[in-house]
Amino acid sequence: MIRWLEDERLSSAVKANMARFKATSFAKDLDEGEARWRFMSWPRTDHNPMRFLLESDDRRHATFTFDAAGMAYGKIEHAEEGVTTGRSA
pLDDT digits (tens, 9 = 90+) for 19-39: 999 999 999 999 999 999 999
Strands (DSSP E) found in 1-89: 2-3, 37-41, 50-56, 61-66, 72-78, 83-88
- The total number of structural domains in the chain stands at 1
* Domain boundaries, position 9: 2-88
Q: What is the pTM of this model?
A: 0.85
Tens-digit pLDDT profile for residues 35-87: 999 999 999 999 999 999 999 999 999 999 999 998 999 999 987 655 555 55
